[in-house]
Amino acid sequence: MLTRRFFLRGPAIVMAGAGALPFWLARAATAAEGKRKILVAIFQRGAADGLNVVVPFADKRYYELRPTIGIPAPGPQNGVIDLDGHFGLNPALQPLKALWDKQQLAIVEATGSPDPSRSHFDAQDYMESGTPGVKSDGWLNRALTPGGPDTSPVRAIAMGAQLPRTLRGVHSAIAVANIQQLRLGDQNGASALESMYANTADAKMGHAGKDAFSAMKMIQSLTQGNYTPAGGAQYGQGGELGRSLQQVARLIKADVGVEAAFAEVGGWDHHGNEPPQLTNLLRQFGSALAAFALDMGDRMEDIVLVTMSEFGRTAEENGNSGTDHGHGDLMMVLGGPVRGGKVYGRWPGLEKEQLYEGRDLAVTTDFRDVLGELISGHLGQQNLGQVFPGHKPGEPLGLLRS
Amino acid sequence: MKRLLFTVTAATLLAIGVPFLGSAVGRFDNRLSKEQEILQALNRLTFGPRSGDVETVRRMGVAKWIDLQLHPERIPENPELEAKLKPLESLRMESAEIFKQYGAVPRALVPQFTPLNQLLSQEQMRKILNGTAEERQSALNDLDPEKRRKVLPMVPPAVISTPELQKELAEARKAQQEEQQKEFRRLMPPLPDLLTADQIPIAQRGTPEQRQALFASLDPVKRQQVAGALGPQSLSGFPEMRRAGMAARQPQQVAIADLREGKLYRALYSNRQLEEVLVDFWFNHFNVDEAKGSDRMMLASYERDAIRPHVLGHFKDLLLATARHPAMLFYLDNWESISPDALQTLQVGPFATGMNLTQVLGRQAHGLNENYGRELMELHTLGVNGGYTQQDVIEVARCFTGWTIRQPNVKPEFQFASFMHDNGEKTVLGRKIPAGGGEQDGLRVIDMLAHHPSTARFISGKLARYFVADDPPKALLDKMVQTFTKTDGDLRAVLETMFTSREFFSEGAWQSKVKTPFELVVSAVRATQADTTDSFALVQRIADLGEPLYGKVEPTGYVDNSEAWLSTGGLLGRINFATTLSAGRIVGVKIDASRLDGKDTATMERELLNRSPSPETQAAIENGLGGKPATPALITGLVISSPDFQRR
C-alpha span between B500 and B495 (Å, rounded): 8
- Give the orientation angle of helix B632-641 with respect to helix B615-624, to 10 degrees: 140
d(CA A269, CA B331): 12
Q: What angle do CA B232, B238, B239 make, to 5 degrees?
A: 75
Number of helices and strands in chain A (H, E):
14, 12
Q: Which residue of A has its CA nearest to B383?
A: A119
Q: Is the pLDDT of residue A337 over 90?
A: yes
B570 contact residues in A (CB cutoff 8 A): 161-162, 175
Please give the pLDDT value at position A22.
40
pLDDT confidence band for B130 (50 / 70 / 90): confident
Q: How many CA atoms lie within 13 A of B437 on its CB side?
A: 21
Label residue B25 by pLDDT band (50, 70, 90).
Answer: low
Best mutation target, A320, A321, A356, A360, to test chain B (most B CBs within 10 A): A320
Cα–Cα distance measured from residue A376 to residue A370, given in angstroms and rounded to the nearest whole number? 10
A391 touches chain B (CB under 8 A): no
According to the model, what pLDDT value does residue B366 have?
A: 54
Q: Which of B405, B567, B618, B625 should be substituted to probe chain A, the one whose Cβ sees the most A Cβ atoms within 10 Å?
A: B567
What pLDDT, on a 0 to 100 scale, did the predictor assign at position B210?
Answer: 94
CA angle B499, B502, B503 (to 5 degrees): 80
CA distance A244 to B614: 37
Rounded to an integer, the average pLDDT of A33-46 is 87
Residue A192 contacts B where some CB pair is shorter than 8 Å: yes
**What per-residue confidence (pLDDT) applies to B423?**
94
From the number of C-beta atoms within 10 Å of its C-beta (0-12, 13-18, 19+), residue A36 rates as middle
What confidence score (pLDDT) does residue A348 get?
97
Residues 6+ apart with CB under 8 A from B432: B425, B426
The answer to whether residue A102 scores a pLDDT higher than 70 is: yes
| SS3 (DSSP) at B278 | helix
Tell me how far apart the alpha carbons of residues A95 and A92 are, in angstroms, rounded to a whole number. Answer: 8
Average pLDDT, chain A: 88
A32 part of contact set with chain B, CB < 8 Å: no
A225 contact partners, CB below 8 Å, separation of at least 6:
none
On the question of pLDDT at A8 being above 50, the answer is no
Q: Which of A105, A101, A89 is nearest to A337 (CA)?
A: A105
- Can you give the three-state secondary structure of B255-267, one letter per residue? HHHHHHHHHHHHH
pLDDT tier, B361 (very low <50, low <70, confident <90, very high otherwise): very low
Query: How much is the pLDDT for B10?
Result: 52
Instruction: Give the strand pairing for A38-44 and A260-265.
Output: parallel
Backbone phi, then psi, for B571, in 5-degree steps?
Answer: -65, -45
pTM: 0.81
pLDDT average, residue stretch A278-288: 96
At A103, is the pLDDT very low, low, confident or very high (cuts 50, 70, 90)?
very high
Which range, of A150-154, B45-49, B572-576, averages the lowest pLDDT?
Answer: A150-154
Distances in Å between the alpha carbon of A137 and those of A3, A125, A171, A384, B24?
32, 9, 11, 15, 22
Q: Average pLDDT in the B473-497 region?
A: 98
pLDDT tens, position by position, A234-256: 999 999 999 999 999 999 998 88
| Of the listed ranges A36-50, A309-323, B439-453, B617-631, the one predicted with least confidence | B617-631
Residue B247: count of CB within 10 angstroms of its CB: 20
The answer on pLDDT for B262 being more than 50 is yes
Q: List the beta bridge partners of residue B506.
A: B31
Q: Which chain B residue lies closest to A322 (C-alpha atoms)?
A: B369
* Residues written for chain B: 648
The tens digit of pLDDT for each residue in A112-166 reads 999 998 889 899 999 999 999 888 899 999 999 887 766 788 899 999 888 899 9
A-chain CB neighbours of B562 within 8 Å are 204
pLDDT at B179: 85
Q: Does A277 touch chain B (CB under 8 A)?
A: no
Sorting pLDDT into bands at 50, 70 and 90, what band is B1?
low
pLDDT digits (tens, 9 = 90+) for B287-318: 999 998 889 999 999 999 999 999 999 999 99
Closest listed residue to residue A272, CA positions, set B434, B331, B270: B331
CB contact under 8 A, B367 and A324: no
pLDDT, one tens digit per residue, over A74-94 is 998 899 999 999 999 999 999
pLDDT value of position A154? 86
Q: Is B596 left (phi over 0), alpha (psi -120 to 50) or beta?
A: alpha
- Average of per-residue pLDDT values in chain B: 89
What's the mean pLDDT in A49-57? 97
Q: Tell me the count of A-B CB pairs closer than 8 A.
A: 188
Query: What pLDDT sits at residue B54?
Result: 96
Kindly provide the ipTM of the predicted complex, given to two decimals: 0.80
- pLDDT tens digits, one per residue of B66-116: 999 999 999 999 999 999 999 999 999 999 999 999 988 777 777 777 788
**pLDDT of amino acid A19:** 37
Instruction: Tell whether B518 lies on the interface with A, counting CB pairs under 8 A.
Output: no
How many Cα atoms occupy the beta-carbon half-sphere of A73 within 13 Å? 10
Q: What is the pLDDT of residue A217?
A: 83
CA-based nearest residue to A142, from A132, A129, A127: A129
Residue partners of B328: CB distance under 8 A and separation at least 6 = B286, B288, B302, B306, B322, B334, B372
In this prediction, what percent of chain B has a pLDDT beyond 70? 93
Asked if pLDDT for residue B2 goes beyond 70, the answer is: no
Who wins on pLDDT, B60 or B364? B60
pLDDT reported for residue B144: 86
pLDDT for res B135 = 85
Q: How much of chain B, in percent, has pLDDT values that exceed 90?
A: 67
Residue range B2-26: mean pLDDT, rounded: 50
Cβ contact, residue pair A162, B546, below 8 Å: yes
- pLDDT bin (cut points 50, 70, 90) of residue B363 is very low
Query: Looking at per-residue confidence, does A307 or B129 come out higher?
Result: A307
* pLDDT category of residue A259 using cuts at 50, 70 and 90: very high
pLDDT at B52 over 50: yes
As a whole number of angstroms, the distance between CA B584 and CA B586 comes to 6
Q: How far apart are CA B307 and CA A304, in angstroms?
A: 47
> Pick from B338, B566, B637: which is nearest to A204 by CB?
B566
Which pLDDT band, with edges at 50, 70 and 90, does A13 fall under?
A: very low
Shortest distance, CA A190 to any CA of chain B (angstroms): 8
B546:A188 CB<8 A: no
**What are the tens digits of pLDDT across the range A172-219?**
888 888 887 777 777 778 888 999 999 999 998 998 898 888 888 888
Give me Rg for the CA atoms of chain A. Answer: 22
Cβ proximity of B399 and B441 under 8 Å? yes
Contact status of B342 with chain A (Cβ, < 8 Å): no
Q: What is the pLDDT of residue B359?
A: 43
pLDDT greater than 90 at residue B348: no
Supply the pLDDT for residue B495.
98
Task: Name the 3-class secondary structure at A330.
Answer: strand
